[in-house]
Amino acid sequence: MHDVVSEVVLSIRDLKQHFAIGGGLFSKKKFVYAVDGISFDVKAGETLGLVGESGCGKSTVGRTLLKLYEPTSGQIFFEGRDITKLGSKEMGDLRKEMQIIFQDPMESLNSRHTIGGIMAEPFEIHGIGTPEERRVWVEELLVKVGLPKTAADRYPHEFSGGQRQRIGIARAIALKPKIIVCDEAVSALDVSVQSQIVNLLLELQKEMNLALIFIAHDLSVVKHISDRIAVMYLGKVVEMGDAETLYREPKHPYTQALISAIPIPNPRHRNQRIILQGDVPSPMDPPPGCHFNARCVHATDECRVKRPELIDYDSQGHQVACHLVQPIA
Amino acid sequence: MKPLNTNPSSTEPTAGEQLGEVVLDVRQLETTFTTEQGKIKVLDGVSFQAKRGQTIGIVGESGCGKSVTSLSIMGLLPRPHGQVTGGEVIYKGQDVTKLPPEKLYEMRGDRIAMIFQEPMTALNPVHTIGEQLCEVYRLHRPEFDKKQRKEEAINMLRKVDIPAPEKRFNVYPHELSGGMRQRVMIAIALACKPDILIADEPTTALDVTIQAQILSLMKELQQETGMAIIFITHDLGVVAEICDEVVVMYAGRAVEKTNVFELFENPRHPYSRGLLNSIPRLDDKPKTRLNTIEGSVPSLAEMPKGCRFYNRCPDRQEQCEHQTPVPEMIANDHMVSCLRLKELS
Ligand SMILES: Nc1ncnc2c1ncn2[C@@H]1O[C@H](COP(=O)(O)OP(=O)(O)OP(=O)(O)O)[C@@H](O)[C@H]1O
Ligand SMILES: Nc1ncnc2c1ncn2[C@@H]1O[C@H](COP(=O)(O)OP(=O)(O)OP(=O)(O)O)[C@@H](O)[C@H]1O
Ligand code: SF4
Ligand SMILES: [Mg+2]
Ligand SMILES: [Mg+2]
């Protein structure tokens, strides 16, 4: 790889997001431990994939590190600067550098505005350029994401899901961000269109040296696009490492089950699944010990009482949180 | 190559119950919606057979007509604007699309049952799951008394691996996880031991680990009861996992139909090939370009006149723009509908 890839764009340390719920006159306040002590770094030009079952906290990590939510505790560093405590005013210009793309970017947008109007917004908000300049930039952006310039004069409902996601991406890259969180950005698309969008993201990443945090429940797509992957379970990272290694030699029993459950598009590969029993426990009252113990076939007495720490499994950045996994020397 | 025979004698109902016996024969099904833009043929000649003890998959991109196919079979098209306008669906010698509503109502949930993607919309939030299961028996098994209904209901909950079924009998749908709700839906669907189960994206909303549980449960129950499953999905991984045969649909038409091994190892329609090529695979080189099919599915109003795949097809030629391909059998169980089939082999 080339050397520009090495600089860390974003780091989080022991990040926590506990949502308080209830706590009315008659009920005791409870907490959802949505994100419960997560640390990682993302470098320029690198994709970190976030996987795990519904409700494990992937979106919350994404939103908290962009400071769309105030973190409960922990730290967020952007290009080495601690931004955890910055207020919305101080965040102002930093917002340009950090973007997010959702499953359907158009859902939240005003359907009565043209694409050109919607896409000029980021420039307007930050007071960049004249209307004429903005129009030129919008057209350039549309071409960059593979749409005709004329798209600027049309309305969101005139576009297919894949085209709308292209527009969402164009909007996200408009202000030349350093990092984009893609939260299920390709999940609603059909496979033939999904692959177009994945290609587009890969191209833009290369060209702009973008850091990406890629959240998705389709594990084959995540593997394809990620350099490193963090596997989450109930608000914690249970395993993290280089994408290739993690899929080839998963160490955590949960990662093993998750990867084994991926339906492989080859009918000669049937009946080789590890089938996990039961559901994910509630993040409102996570079980004592290892969060995964109730569904883990290897669980011992220790696993039911003592919480395993995320430790370095090797010197290549492969980390695992399981009592049964010993680091290799 | 012989043209597709639309009325093969082998599909006449046979006596006895053998695996592989045809239980539902969908022939040249055509469904039309009346919309503001006029009449739109949403299904245009879809044919397949559901066989005892086997699973036939219907796969294709969003909007290609998978759900409309199942609604047409079940007689659940939105009235009055959705209508079966051609073809037939033969079950036990009768065309179910021509049955009077009462007859259809009797059959639904009894001989032919259905499960959907989002169990929450199909389950009634104000009744316990036990009540909802008992209701199925009240409708279709009037000879059961209250005690029998409850017994059978708990039996079904046990059969779909719901832990502590006696207790769960009394809970409401919202108290269950997504996976548990889908199990309840399966219990309700299978309560009367149907001959045919239509499953419309039953695992799409679930996590992969829960999906693996549900797929394995469905296979187990199929082995036990010999029901035919029509499995609708857009996920080719799931198709490979659970289907015996597959119909690939594109824009309302069946473009290829064959057994699952043939589809994955020798796909013949340019769309099937494109679809299979564009799935990211675990053994791919990371961060490389994926294969794609250019463009997207045209809206029904802008549909190409000839082959509907024309504007996206890498193999298209002039003739494809105006000429409509007809289904051809290239082997006993392999149908392809493409004008360039001969040149592309
Ligand atoms: N604003 C909020 N207030 C209270 N609880 C929340 C809030 N946002 C998320 N949660 C809870 O936090 C947990 C983590 O949710 P999150 O959306 O981050 O999960 P996820 O991994 O993104 O799941 P999915 O795959 O379904 O998108 C869930 O239990 C969720 O119900
Ligand atoms: N009630 C309706 N009125 C008019 N058109 C309809 C109606 N229901 C479906 N359609 C149209 O019929 C076509 C087929 O829809 P269908 O729901 O069968 O697609 P599908 O293959 O199930 O897609 P998905 O994968 O998104 O579920 C679509 O073009 C859709 O817009
Ligand atoms: S008929 Fe023509 S356009 Fe249609 S799939 Fe075949 S080659 Fe492509
Ligand atoms: Mg999420
Ligand atoms: Mg559908």
DSSP string for B272-289: HHHHHHTS--TTSPTT-P
% residues pLDDT > 70 (chain B): 95
Nearest to B282 among A194, A199, A262 (CB): A262
Q: Whose CA is nearest to atom 16 of ligand 1?
A: A57
Alpha carbon distance B179, A96 (integer Å):
40
Residues of A in contact with B234 (CB under 8 A): 190-191
The answer to whether residue B147 scores a pLDDT higher than 80 is: yes
pLDDT at B10: 39
pLDDT at B300: 76
Task: For residue A133, give Cα distances in angstroms to A177, A319, B106, B319.
Answer: 19, 48, 66, 45
Phi, then psi, of B322 in degrees rounded to 5: -115, -25
pLDDT at A199: 96
State the virtual CA torsion across B302, B303, B304, B310 in degrees, nearest 10: 120
pLDDT at B17: 64
pLDDT at B18: 76
Fold of B22-111+192-344: Rossmann fold (3.40.50)
The structural domains of chain B, with segments of one domain joined by +, span 22-111+192-344, 119-191
pLDDT at A109: 63
Whether the model clears a pTM of 0.80, i.e. scores above it, the answer is yes
pLDDT at B177: 85
Mean pLDDT (whole number) for B176-202: 93
Contact B270, B338 (CB under 8 A): yes
pLDDT at B8: 41
Cβ-Cβ contacts under 8 Å for B264 (sequence gap 6 or more): A265, A266, A267, B240, B276
Mean pLDDT of chain B: 91
B93 vs A270, higher pLDDT: B93
Alpha carbon distance A254, B276 (integer Å):
29
Q: 3-state DSSP call for residue A294?
A: helix
Contact A267 B260 (CB under 8 A): yes
Q: What residue ranges of chain A are covered by domains with CATH 3.40.50.300?
A: 8-97+178-272
pLDDT at A1: 42
pLDDT at A108: 63
How many CA atoms does the CB half-sphere of A233 hold within 13 Å? 29
Mean pLDDT (whole number) for B205-231: 93
Mean pLDDT (whole number) for B60-79: 93
The answer to whether residue B257 scores a pLDDT higher than 50 is: yes
pLDDT at B14: 41
A69 alpha carbon, closest ligand: 1
Fold of A8-97+178-272: Rossmann fold (3.40.50)
Work out the number of other CB atoms within 10 angstroms of the CB of residue A127: 6
B111 CA from centroid of ligand 4 (Å): 39
Contact A220 B276 (CB under 8 A): no
ipTM: 0.89
Residues of A in contact with B284 (CB under 8 A): 223-224
Q: If we measure between CA atoms, which residue out of B195, B345, B164 comes closest to residue B266?
A: B345
Q: Tens digits of per-residue pLDDT, B267-311? A: 999 999 999 999 999 888 889 999 999 988 888 778 899 999 999
Q: If we measure between CA atoms, which residue out of B126, B242, B105 comes closest to residue A271?
A: B242
Alpha carbon distance A85, B337 (integer Å):
62
Residue B19: pLDDT band with limits 50, 70, 90:
confident
Residues of B in contact with A221 (CB under 8 A): 280
Contact B234 A163 (CB under 8 A): no
Contact A202 B289 (CB under 8 A): yes
Residue B119: pLDDT band with limits 50, 70, 90:
confident
Calculate how close chain B gets to A87, using CA atoms only, in Å.
36
B8 vs B306, higher pLDDT: B306
B69 CA from centroid of ligand 5 (Å): 9
Alpha carbon distance B240, B245 (integer Å):
10
Mean pLDDT (whole number) for B201-222: 92
Low-confidence ranges of chain A (pLDDT < 50): 1-5
